[in-house]
Structure 1
């Protein structure tokens, strides 16, 4: 119990600090790409649903505190969808983290679900606020949707590498 609490706290701290401190970030609202911003979420997702939910809250807080535009904070909050779905799948199919092909398929499906959540967050934001003078289809579907798929897959592989590199991390248990 204390081990899971400690890991959750550490991943939440990382999720809060990455958007604040990461020097490698590109922000073109509503699109933003912050290197490794999804890694704590993926690591938590590999370990448990509760941990994943907590880390998504931390990540959302990190984007808020870092002063990102509200639409980007909403995108961060949408991560709850892919994180909980991914954690649920891993709980019932833990072998997905050990097979190269199965992880590639899992990572792609997570990335697509992730992108759908972020696109919906943008559409919700832009249909309930004053529309900016942007090409909504290009910005939301190509920059946010397409960019999220690529960004999510890269972060998924970074997280898997870290997960496999830390001895005993998989013994935390997925609940």
Structure 2
């Protein structure tokens, strides 16, 4: 049992580091109040495939890192990742082969993307209404365009893309390191 906990702690630490480094080195697309970094959620999705504990640890670790290194609105968005990551990790724990099924895997991917987006929209909305981190032009675009479309729909697309990348990486990792799929606690 202790070996399993140490192994999970090490994996969580490595994934936290990856989750903090990826936004520094990957290309960004900035549209209005949103920035999308390819692969920014991959570490979180990989953690979900390992266990709920690892998913929670990676979300908390990356969020703390973002509170130190990024504007408040980005760190607050990162804090919402705990919700979709835990839901996803618990579903995957219950149905470990769900991502092997095209229909169920796509369904879970889209559902997690919607949950991910809902969390970020709820966090960004107060920033919009207070005017924090939004330019006058973005405020003039209105709540629907700036928050619902850019943050909400943008996050769904970003999440689905990052989850798809993660599934491909996870399949590679499972075949390369077969013992990793045994971690489910």
Q: 1:53 to 1:60 in 2, by over 3 A?
A: same
* Distance (Å, rounded) in 2 between the aligned partners of 1:171 and 1:164: 14
* Distance (Å, rounded) in 2 between the aligned partners of 1:57 and 1:120: 19
Question: 1:156 is matched with which residue?
Answer: 163
More helix by share: 2
* Distance (Å, rounded) in 1 between the aligned partners of 2:65 and 2:22: 7
Question: 1:60 is matched with which residue?
Answer: 63
Equivalences, count:
171
* Distance (Å, rounded) in 1 between the aligned partners of 2:63 and 2:87: 18
SS in 1 for 2:97: helix
* Distance (Å, rounded) in 2 between the aligned partners of 1:147 and 1:98: 26
Question: 1:142 is matched with which residue?
Answer: 149
User: Deviation string for 1:144-163 (max 9, x for gaps)?
Assistant: 10010110001001111111
Question: 1:17 is matched with which residue?
Answer: 21
Once superposed, what is the RMSD of the aligned Cα atoms? 1.7
The one of 47, 50, 58 aligned to 1:47: 50
The two structures have a TM-score, normalised by structure 1, of 0.89
Q: 1:139 to 1:43 in 2, by over 3 A?
A: same
* Distance (Å, rounded) in 2 between the aligned partners of 1:170 and 1:153: 22
What pairs up with 1:72-151 in 2 under 5 angstroms?
Answer: 72-127=74-129, 129-130=130-131, 132=134, 133=136, 134=139, 135-151=142-158
Is the contact between residue 22 and residue 34 of structure 1 (CA under 8 Å) also seen in structure 2?
Answer: no
Is the contact between residue 26 and residue 39 of structure 2 (CA under 8 Å) also seen in structure 1?
Answer: no
Is the contact between residue 31 and residue 72 of structure 1 (CA under 8 Å) also seen in structure 2?
Answer: no
Higher-Rg structure is 2
Unaligned runs of 5+ in 2: none
Unaligned runs of 5+ in 1: none
